[in-house]
Every structure is written in structure tokens, then in C-alpha cells.
Structure 1
Amino acid sequence: MKLFFSRALMVMGFLAAGCGNADDDVNFRPNPDGDLGLGNPVDNCLDLGPNQLLLSIQDEFTTLPGKVSVFFRVTDDLGNPVSGLTAEQFTIYEQGRNDDCFNAISPSESQARISPNSQVFANHTLLVLDLSNSVLSTSLAELKSASSSFVTNVMPQQETPSFRMAIYWFDGEDVLHELQPLTSSRSDLLAAIAGIQQGISSDPSTDLYGAVIKSTDRATALVEESQEEDVIGAASVVLFTDGTDQASRYRETDALRKVEEADSNISFFTIGLGAEIDTQILEAIGKTFSVFAGNKEELESTFNQLSQKVSERANSFYLFEYCSPKRDGSGENNLVIQAVQGNRQGAVQTKFNATGFTAGCQ
């Protein structure tokens, strides 16, 4: 039976109880994007050295008869996501009550693996397109091609409930129009983009700040819905525009404040096209990453550049599972997970309770 720990209980547990010989327990923020992580500094007895990789624990649980699962994100020390790690690049160390330090656990004997994380993770991408008159009249074909490439690069070919995308568009109206509801279907998203017609908009102005505020509210709601379902939720708002806010329905300061105060698991990306954009504003809105195309011929390569960043972030979350050799009666045990990529390493310390653990874990 899975024993899920709510975030509130996890924070209380990590702050109230020590882990082995570690000097201090911390609830740390491992990168500048503000993704909250739970964990502790690794015991000095392991002497693993400084962290160039940062492991941010998001959730953890055990499954009888003896499986330990830890869901975490990996970044480098500059906050850049680290994706594509395999089970062989992780080392497990356990410390029981009779151990002075940690003992390495054989990855093969423990059946260590990176597992599909759909049971604990939901990643949402909101693609928000400027379809004001300037785009529709001059660069619609290029935008449709670039957006299609973005969908193809970001969405897994095989549908999975942990990766979903929705497409919205805006013009001068006080509305964030829904082009495609949230879906795991790459084909549905591509069909929605293909169906964009030049006459889709009835207001030639640009309500950029309204789109920022409304898409942030939508992303926030998705993250909150995930939390209510005991799932870790992350969202990416990807906004394209070829100009500045013209409608003046909302204040610039309100839009920027909305982004700055958004949930820490919401990322913001912007794509700007042409000479009429305000790069400073778009960089503030796209606080995670911003790219700019000088002309419509560069638009697809610019979208592709950004899609790599969105995919790397989504794929830097890992569900790492292994079968522990600890058995019922051993109580709480300390656990260190170390990741190694080339000449870089990083580790995080936590603990698990082996109550009920027996043989037979697979």
C-alpha cells in the first residue's frame, strides 16, 4: 500500500526531526527559479564533495513489501534543468540504526530504476499565441509552422497523462480564447493549429498584459488542482507576441507582479518577433527563458530553441525507485541519493520508515 506524504506533513517532519549525523535540517530552495524542495545536507561521513548537481525532493513514499520511491528534480548549480539521467547514474546509500555511516546499495540487487512518474506528477504547458491583426496579416503561416514544431518537440509521441498541453490565443478583446483544451494528444494540438484562419479575430488590438494575467491564473489553477489530487503539479506558460500591449486594459505593473508572485512550480517563457516588441518587458514576463526572432523566417528555429528549454525542464523530474534491503523492525532509516553526470555530482539526504518491509519486492 502506498503511503503518500502531504507536503505540509513532509515539511513538518523534515524540520522537526534530524537525519543521521547531519548538522542541520533544511527546507531549501535549490535553484533561482524557486522550485521548492525537501531534503537535507548529506552527512559528512560520506565525503561526497561539493554539489554541482542539485536534487530537490518533491515527494516520497513507500510501497510494501519493500519499495522506496522518491520523486525529485535535478538542476545544476546555476538552476538549469538536468534531463535524461538514467538509473545507472544514481547511487543509493542507506544508514540503519546500527550503522556509523552509510552503506552503498547495489543498483542491480535493489532493482533500482527510473519509473514513469504519471502517478505522482502532472506537467502542463500553456501555449499562448498573439493572433492580433499584425500577426494574422503578415506571419500567420510561419507562426502555424513554428507552433506545430513546438508541439511536436515538446509533447511525447506516445500519449501520457503526466504531459498535457493547451493552446490559447489573444487579440484586443478582454478574453483569453481557448483554441485547444488541455490534452495529451499531439494530433489534437496539431489539428487545432492547422485550423487557425485569418478571420479568427474580430479585434485588431493587442491585450498582452491581459493574456499574461489570465494565462497565469489558468496555470495556477492547474497546479492547485494537481495538489488536490495528491499529485505534484508543474506548469509552463509559453507566450508568443510580435508587439506590445495596445489595448491598455490592464496595467503593466499588475501583469509583471502576477508573474513574479506566481507559484514556484510555474515557469514562464516568451517568444518575441520583429522590431516592435519590447524585449525588456518580454524578458520580465519570460523570467525562465526568453527568445527573439528578428523576422518571420527565423520564427520556427526560435520556437525550436525554446521547445528544448521547455522539454528539458519537464524531463528534469524523476521518480527513482528501488527495493530496500531493510526489513520490518528496523524503524526509520536514513537515505542518500547521489546523481553523477560526467564530472559533476550532487546528492540529497532524506529518510524512510521500513515498517512492514519484507522480501518479495520487485
Structure 2
Amino acid sequence: MRKQSSSPITSAALLLGLFSSCNWPDRVNGPKEPQAEVYETAKENRGLLLACDSAAVYAPAKLSVIFTVMDTLGEPITDLTCDNLALLEDSLAISTHESAFRVKNHPQDLHLSTLLLLDLSGSIAGSDFDSLKASSHSFIRNLFQNTKRSNLSMAIYWFDGAAQPHKLVDFTSDTLHLHRTVTALNPGMSLDHATNLNGAIIRGLELVKAEVKKAKAGLVPHGALAIFTDGVDSAARFTAQEAQSAVDTSGPGVAVYTIGLGEEVDSTRLRAFGKNGFAFAGSIGQLQQNFETTATRIQSRIMNRYLLEYCTPKRHGRHNLRITAFEPRRQDSYGSLTVSFPADGFEGGCRLNGACVN
């Protein structure tokens, strides 16, 4: 009888799946977290950026990888299908007879915390203020449209010249409460007509990052800050460089969008602050559309997550799977990521309903 080789994966672990956060391996000492059985080893960006969120192996011989896809402008790619993916295992094309894979959108374990930050420093009044309220209502509707509330929470703050932004409603998934709060907005709320835009950005990012850290175990947390202003910073509490530094160091898990209104805004500065998107409204009549577009772009960050399941013919040792995604409308735009996984203990019987025909 052949003696079974020792395996780093127990049968119980294979049944449950060994999830990791796709840590990059240390080039000298191996994986940064040795207990992570599946980890990312390489990337290639030729127009698309793939990022591995988590990965696991399952009995009898399945590798599961959850990854996100964005273009070079940071726009989420939400419509990938089997036809847009190619797999290589140990640098060879996978066998259509001995292996199988499938892919689907997989937003279930992601939670996105969004902060809408409104400039109420005094320059918006009358019918313009009503338009701002209508735009905020549209933002809420578009953000939560066709999305499970368990995947989203939203807070609304406003700012003027004061040192700290003012809280209207803390992070919640209760859209009725959010709408009621917006309805209660009035132009007399601000007593300081200066604009602390730079400070609002810095503090807004702090609030978003603090909320991201509160995510429940098992969820992949992301954050987004959407800032509306119709002017420039006049309070001079913080410099534009300090605000830009806060944006630049906020990390890939926090998106920043800016919305500017009118001739007094500094579009160049707002575009730099909005690392994931900037929308400009030349007149108040364009504002609602820009709020809706920004909310839709934030929501799409949930829908650019994919679950790839792969039945491998490997039965022993460590192997690499390279996942390449091609942009649906531009085949010359693509990106790839490679994950390393162990196959010790794998055996026959892996089946996937609805597997891709490659």
C-alpha cells in the first residue's frame, strides 16, 4: 500500500475552504502570512487592473478566487462573461476535458460605506437650494437602486467654514431616514459663510476610513466619499496640499468623487481631489444629473467583483493559475493576476453547473 504523503491541507480544511486575502508573497521568506494557502504572485496591467480580494480551495479539487476589475481611470468593469476570460495553469492553457471553470458577479460579501458631504456655506439659496435637495434625493435613490441594503450604508454631512463638518445622519441603510433628513435641510442651517473645503475633505476621509474599520467579520469593506461644492476653500484652516495628501494616501479601498457647481469652483483642483471621478455642473440645472451619475459610479464598485471557480486536474504540489480578463469592448485592453494554490489532497469529482465553454 502506498504511503500517503503529508499534506498542509487537512480534509476538514478542504471541506470548509481556506480563505486568504490574496497576500503577495515575500520574495525571501515566502508568503507574508504563512497560514494563507492561496496567495497572489503576479499582476499585469495592459488597460485593466485585476485585484484579488480573497481566495480558497475546496474539496474535492476546486479553487475559488474573488477579484475586482477596473480600467486605468479607476472605472469599474461590471459586465465580464466567460468570453472575456482566459486561464493558464502553470503557464499552459487549461484542458477543456480535464478541467472546468465558471465566473459570476459576486457582490454578496462586500460592504460599501458612502459619505455624501455637502457644501452649505451660504452661496446656495432659494430655488438653487431646492435643486440641491432634489439632487441629494436622487443620489440616495441611485446609490441603493438594485442593490441589497446589506451591501450598503450611507451618511450625510454638510460643511461651511467651521472646523468640523456637521452630521445630518450617520451611516445607515435606512433609505427612508436618509430621505427624511434631506427633506429637512434648510439654507439657514449654516452660521459661517466661509468654506472649509480642504478641512472637510480631510475629516470626511477620516470618517469613511473609521466606518470601513467597523465592518463585520467576513465582509470585505470599501468606502466612498462624494463631495459637493460650489466654491473654493476660503477658511484656510488647511492647505490644498494637505487635503490632496489625504486623498492620495486614502488607499485603494476608499474612493473619492467630487462634484463642482458654477464658475467659482477650481475645476483643476477638484479633479485632482476626485481621484475616482469629477463631475462639473455649469448651471444648477445640470446638478441633479451629476449627483445621479456619481452615485451610479459609486454603486458600480460593488458590481465589479467576480467569483471565479476552477476545477483543477492537479492532485499534488503547488501550482499557479493565471486569470486574464479582456475588456468587452476593447480586446487590446486586458489585465491579469496569478494566484498560487496547493493541490495536495485533491481528487476527482469536482463539478460545476453552468461551467464556461472555452
Q: TM-score, normalised by structure 2?
A: 0.78
Mapped pair 1:287 → 2:275? yes
**CA deviation profile, 1:299-355 (whole Å, cap 9, x unmatched):** 112223333433344432x2313251446x423232122323244244322222234
Please state whether the residue corresponding to 1:233 is helix, strand or coil. strand
- Identity among equivalent positions (%) equals 28
The aligned counterpart of 1:118 is: 108
Paired residue type of 2:67: F
Aligned CA distance change for structure 1 residues 167 and 53 (closer, same or farther; 3 Å): same
Counterparts in 2 of 1:230 and 1:263: CA distance versus 1, 3 Å: farther
Q: Is this contact kept in 2: 1:283–1:289, CA < 8 A? A: yes
After superposition, the Cα gap between the structure-2 partners of 1:59 and 1:301, relative to the gap in structure 1 and judged at 3 Å, is: same
Which one of 169, 172, 175 corresponds to residue 180 of structure 1? 169
Residue number in structure 1 paired with 2:17: 2
User: Of residues 154, 170, 180 in structure 2, which corresponds to 1:191?
Assistant: 180
2:128 aligned to which of 128, 139, 163: 139
- Aligned positions of 1:318-357 closer than 5 A: 318-326=305-313, 329-340=315-326, 341-344=328-331, 345-357=334-346
Question: SS where residue 133 of structure 1 aligns?
Answer: coil
Residue by residue, what CA displacement relative to the aligned partner does 1:39-83 show, whole Å, maximum 9, x if unpaired?
A: 4258xxxxxxx9443322232222444442212221235554322
Residue 145 of structure 2: SS of its match in structure 1? coil
The aligned residue for residue 6 of structure 2 is none
Structure 2 residue runs without a partner (length 5+): 1-15, 32-38, 353-358
**Residue 303 of structure 1: which of 291, 295, 308 is its match?**
291
Q: Deviations over 1:118-164 (max 9, x none)?
A: 33x32222111112222244521101111222222222334242332
TM-aligned CA deviation for residue 103 of structure 1? 1.5
Q: Deviations over 1:206-261 (max 9, x none)?
A: 221221111011122234444x9464332221100111223333333322222222
Distance 2:233 2:220 in 1: 34
Evaluate the alpha carbon distance shift between residue 218 and residue 319 of structure 1 in structure 2; reply closer, same or farther with a 3 A threshold.
same
Query: Could you say which structure has the higher strand fraction?
Result: 2
Q: Distance in 1 between matches of 2:313 and 2:21?
A: 24
2:144 to 146, 151, 155: 155
Where does residue 30 of structure 1 map in the other structure?
none
On the 8 A contact 1:118/1:160 being kept in 2, the answer is no
Residue number in structure 2 paired with 1:102: 93
Residue type at the aligned position of 1:245: D
Aligned length: 326
Structure 1 unaligned spans of 5+: 19-36, 43-49
Any idea what SS the aligned residue of 1:268 has? strand
Which residue is equivalent to 1:34?
none
1:166-190 superposed Cα distances (whole Å, 9 cap, x missing partner): 2211122222222222223443333
Checking the alignment, whether the CA contact within 8 Å between 1:91 and 1:104 is kept in structure 2 is no
**Contact 2:62–2:312 under 8 Å retained in 1:** no
The amino acid of 1:89's aligned partner reads: N
Displacement of 1:194 in angstroms is: 2.1
Q: Structure 1 residues 309, 159: closer, same or farther in 2, change over 3 A?
A: closer
CA distance in 1, matches of 2:144, 2:281: 23
Match of 1:86 in 2: 81
**What is the match of residue 214 of structure 1?**
203
The equivalent residue for 2:68 is 73
2:25 to 6, 9, 12: 12
* Partner Cα separation in structure 2 for residue 342 and residue 319 of structure 1: 18
Q: Is the 8 A contact 1:92 1:105 kept in 2?
A: no
CA shift in 2, pair 1:300/1:113, >3 Å: same
Correspondent of 1:54 among 49, 56, 78: 49
Q: Decide whether the 8 Å contact of 2:114 with 2:155 is kept in 1.
A: yes
AA partner of residue 3 (structure 1): L
Query: How does 1:222-237 map onto structure 2 within 5 Å?
Result: 222-226=211-215, 229=217, 231-237=219-225
Distance in 2 (alpha carbons) for counterparts of 1:82 and 1:324? 25
Native 8 Å contact 1:156 1:163 kept in 2: no
* Contact 2:160/2:194 (<8 A) preserved: yes
Distance 1:59 1:138 in 2: 48
1:59·1:70 contact (CA, 8 Å) conserved in 2?
A: yes
| Deviation digits for residues 244-292 of structure 1 (CA, Å, limit 9, x no counterpart) | 2233333333222222222232221111111222223222322322121
The Cα RMSD (Å) is: 3.2
Cα separation, 1, equivalents of 2:41 and 2:70: 15
Question: What TM-score do the two structures reach when normalised by structure 1?
Answer: 0.77
The answer as to whether partners of 1:91 and 1:105 remain within 8 angstroms in 2 is no
